[in-house]
């Protein structure tokens, strides 16, 4: 059973009761992420997320760690482009402890000056680590070029320059503006009672001021072209992508099917052709990245320098094929079964159910029942996927980003034709 309550200050509480579960997962979601930052404040949401675990008026960082460990629980956080989440997973009997810890770090973190400087160094090391991990870094580079000049394109973690410039006053001011009640969703799933959850959360979070909802930057327009980022690497890492759909688009199920067939699994067309048949790459896949007002569909591959043109041509060939030939009925059925199975298996985790509750609230404003999602897949036809392919894969829509030894012959923007 799913329940939703809105407190007087505008804070939203959503929960799903799973009677047979032993655990509860609870997350405090703030609907303000990296896309809500100005250029000079890039990385501030992520910096704040780190600092929230460094001590409160009641607990030191060690106290926080010891208390969650003492109940065998997990306490962590992550920052995205449109939200930040602080979450805990505990046995259902320890839900009051989890809420007490989350509320304390959320409301009472002190942002000690010495801790800020230590954490600044940690984040700068994190930036270096990311740049030394090319199969991750390529996706940041793709976003920076795809959404060039827009907050969506900025790295969530920030840059060395922006992180170095963030003062304690800036951090406190951003937290005060962003962490208002109307920007907060408390989502919980597991063996819980909604009325008890409401009492615990209400007691802790009713003091949060209303404030105002975070307003994202204007609708992004993606940049097209070929971008080379030179780096001494054994492989060339590439991302080739186009615009896709926002999270709540009515035809999103066609996009899910399209992505699954193109490169979303080991049986996908790209995996089978590039890796299994021709041995041109160890890793190749496609993925959808959807936001409140926009999205992208991209293909990643890592291959040797001399094989880059061949891999790109295969990707383009499969995109052209998807917009010129309908899927077979067996391909459509397999993709539906794969995606439905993934969703059903994910429901065995209280973490996943909690995240689903929160993201439903962020992007739809209401819960999306499982039955409705399944009907969405059932409505997809071979013809509707063909129409979606023709909508997404159009000439002059592609962005290609290369990372590594990028001297790949005569490859140019003119080659990116669909």
Q: Is residue 148 part of a domain?
A: yes
Judgement on whether residues 196 and 240 belong to the same structural domain of the protein: no
Q: Residues with Cβ < 8 Å from 246, sequence gap 6 or more?
A: 290, 291, 292, 293, 294, 295
**Average pLDDT, whole number, for the chain?**
96
Q: Collapsing DSSP states into helix, strand and coil, what is residue 265?
A: coil
Question: Backbone phi, then psi, for 254, in 5-degree steps?
Answer: -65, -40
Judgement on whether residues 37 and 68 belong to the same structural domain of the protein: yes
CA angle 95-199-80, nearest 5°?
60
Judgement on whether residues 119 and 153 belong to the same structural domain of the protein: yes
Q: Is residue 272 part of a domain?
A: yes
Residue 410's pLDDT band (cuts 50, 70, 90): confident
Alpha carbon distance 164, 392 (integer Å): 39
Q: Is residue 282 part of a domain?
A: yes
Chain centre distance of CA 110? 28
Last residue in a domain, options 205, 239, 254: 205
pLDDT of res. 210: 86
Judgement on whether residues 248 and 194 belong to the same structural domain of the protein: no
pLDDT of res. 280: 98
pLDDT tens profile 195-205: 999 999 999 99
Q: Residues with Cβ < 8 Å from 147, sequence gap 6 or more?
A: 153, 220, 222, 223
Q: Is residue 15 part of a domain?
A: yes
pLDDT tens profile 54-73: 999 999 999 999 999 999 99
Residue 245's pLDDT band (cuts 50, 70, 90): very high
Return the CATH number at 26. 3.30.830.10
Q: Contact, 216 vs 293, CB < 8 A? A: yes
Share of the chain above pLDDT 70, in %: 100
pLDDT of res. 212: 77
Judgement on whether residues 62 and 143 belong to the same structural domain of the protein: yes
Q: Is residue 67 part of a domain?
A: yes
Judgement on whether residues 67 and 142 belong to the same structural domain of the protein: yes
Q: Which domain holds residue 296?
A: 225-415
Judgement on whether residues 179 and 48 belong to the same structural domain of the protein: yes
Judgement on whether residues 85 and 184 belong to the same structural domain of the protein: yes
pLDDT of res. 392: 98
pLDDT tens profile 154-176: 999 999 999 999 999 999 999 99
Is the pLDDT at 216 greater than 90? The verdict is no
Is the pLDDT at 223 greater than 90? The verdict is no
Alpha carbon distance 257, 272 (integer Å): 17
pLDDT of res. 220: 80
Helices assigned H by DSSP within 328-381: 329-346, 350-363, 370-378
pLDDT of res. 156: 98
Alpha carbon distances (Å) from 154 to 36, 105, 126, 178, 290:
11, 27, 16, 18, 16
pLDDT tens profile 347-381: 999 999 999 999 999 999 999 999 999 999 999 99
Is the pLDDT at 406 greater than 90? The verdict is yes
Judgement on whether residues 158 and 255 belong to the same structural domain of the protein: no
- Which are the catalytic amino acids? 49
Q: Encode 286-304: b = buried (16+ Cβ within 10 Å), e = exposed.
A: bbbbbbbbbbbbbbbbbbe
Number of domains in the chain: 2
Judgement on whether residues 260 and 298 belong to the same structural domain of the protein: yes
Alpha carbon distance 224, 93 (integer Å): 53
pLDDT of res. 327: 98
Q: Is residue 159 part of a domain?
A: yes
Q: Is residue 215 part of a domain?
A: no
pLDDT of res. 395: 87
Residue 221's pLDDT band (cuts 50, 70, 90): confident
Q: Which residue has the tokens 């609907």?
A: 31
pLDDT of res. 219: 79
pLDDT tens profile 256-305: 999 999 999 999 999 999 999 999 999 999 999 999 999 999 999 999 99
pLDDT tens profile 73-121: 999 999 999 999 999 999 999 999 999 999 999 999 999 999 999 999 9
Judgement on whether residues 192 and 86 belong to the same structural domain of the protein: yes
Is the pLDDT at 34 greater than 90? The verdict is yes
Judgement on whether residues 51 and 119 belong to the same structural domain of the protein: yes
Alpha carbon distance 234, 303 (integer Å): 9
Q: Is residue 213 part of a domain?
A: no
Q: Collapsing DSSP states into helix, strand and coil, what is residue 249?
A: coil
């Amino acid at each position: 059973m799913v329940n939703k309550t809105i407190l007087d200050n505008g804070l939203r509480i959503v929960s799903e009761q799973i009677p047979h579960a032993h655990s509860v997962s609870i997350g405090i979601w703030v609907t303000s992420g990296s896309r809500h930052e100005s250029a000079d404040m890039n990385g501030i949401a992520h910096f704040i997320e780190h600092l929230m675990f460094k001590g409160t008026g009641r607990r030191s960082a060690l106290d926080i760690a010891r208390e969650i460990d003492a109940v065998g629980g997990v306490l962590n956080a992550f920052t995205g482009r449109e939200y930040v989440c602080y979450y805990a997973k505990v046995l259902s009997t320890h839900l009051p402890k989890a809420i007490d810890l989350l509320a304390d770090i959320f409301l009472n973190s002190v942002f000690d000056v010495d801790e800020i400087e230590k954490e600044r160094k940690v984040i700068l090391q994190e930036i270096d680590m990311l740049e030394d991990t090319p199969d991750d870094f390529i996706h940041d580079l793709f976003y920076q070029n795809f959404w060039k000049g827009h907050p969506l394109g900025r790295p969530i973690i920030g840059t060395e320059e922006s992180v170095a410039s963030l003062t304690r006053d800036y951090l406190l001011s951003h937290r005060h503006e962003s962490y208002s009640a109307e920007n907060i969703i408390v989502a919980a799933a597991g063996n819980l009672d909604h009325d008890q959850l409401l009492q615990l959360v209400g007691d802790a979070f009713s003091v949060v001021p209303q404030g105002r909802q975070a307003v994202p930057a204007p609708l992004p327009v993606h940049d097209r072209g070929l971008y080379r980022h030179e780096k001494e690497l054994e492989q060339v890492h590439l991302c080739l992508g186009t615009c896709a759909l926002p999270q709540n688009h009515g035809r999103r199920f066609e996009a899910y099917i399209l992505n699954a067939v193109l490169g979303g699994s080991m049986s996908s067309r790209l995996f089978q052709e590039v890796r299994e048949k021709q041995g041109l790459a160890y890793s190749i896949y496609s993925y959808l990245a959807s936001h409140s007002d926009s999205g992208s569909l991209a293909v990643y591959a890592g291959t040797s320098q001399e094989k880059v043109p061949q891999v790109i041509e295969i990707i383009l060939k499969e995109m052209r094929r998807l917009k010129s030939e309908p899927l077979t009925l067996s391909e459509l059925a397999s993709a539906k079964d794969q995606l439905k199975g993934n969703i059903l298996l994910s429901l065995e985790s209280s973490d996943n159910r909690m995240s689903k509750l929160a993201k439903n609230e962020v992007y739809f404003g209401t819960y999306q029942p499982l039955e409705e999602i399944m009907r969405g897949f059932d409505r997809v036809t071979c013809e509707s996927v063909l129409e979606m392919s023709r909508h997404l894969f159009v000439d002059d829509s592609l962005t290609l980003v290369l990372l590594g030894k990028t001297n790949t012959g005569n490859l140019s923007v003119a080659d990116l034709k669909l």
